[in-house]
Amino acid sequence: MGMKCPHCHKSIENESQSTKDWNSFGYQSPLITCPKCSKDFLCKAFHEPAAEGIDKKWLNVGIPLKRALIYTAIWAVCWGAIYFIPNLTIPEKFKVFLLGLSGLFMLYGLLDWWTVIRIKSGKEAKLLLKLVQESEKRLQDESYARRLHNLGYKVPEKYLPKDLQ
């Protein structure tokens, strides 16, 4: 993930953030140290889940389930229009377009079905719990909590050193 340092205005690539689990929901350390000028800054794209909490939408199965059903229905209609309606005369170019469109909807539907299965099986909750535990471990380090606090990040009092409370 490329970003610019607000101090030296150099474009930087933060390997520690870009190599994180792609499925981290933006919950990871917001503290970035510029490799060029060695100054700290906050990346607003990342959040400490132990400090800000986890958004409950990541465990709500309703939206991905509705999308999966809609995508599956559209996929079925596209395939039905091409193969199961023999009297329908569809130009060949339109059939190719419908096949491509149905493949796209099938891909989106499968991704949403995969999300539904992950939520229902509890894998999503385990991942979020792991992210919170990692965040708590980071925040228990007094120097890390102090650096976040000095940059203006709202660190809960239980993680702040005694002199900052």
* Cα–Cα distance for residue pair 11/8, rounded to 1 Å: 9
Q: Which residue has the higher pLDDT, 44 or 126?
A: 126
Q: CB under 8 Å, gap of 24 or more: what pairs does 3-7 form?
A: 3/32, 3/43, 5/34, 5/36, 5/37, 5/39, 5/41, 6/41, 7/34, 7/37, 7/39, 7/41
Q: What tokens does 60 get?
A: 């709500």
pLDDT of residue 61: 94
Contact 156, 140 (CB under 8 A): no
**pLDDT beyond 50 at 18:** no
How many other CB atoms are found less than 10 A from the CB of residue 141?
11
Please give the average per-residue pLDDT across 27-51, as a whole number.
88
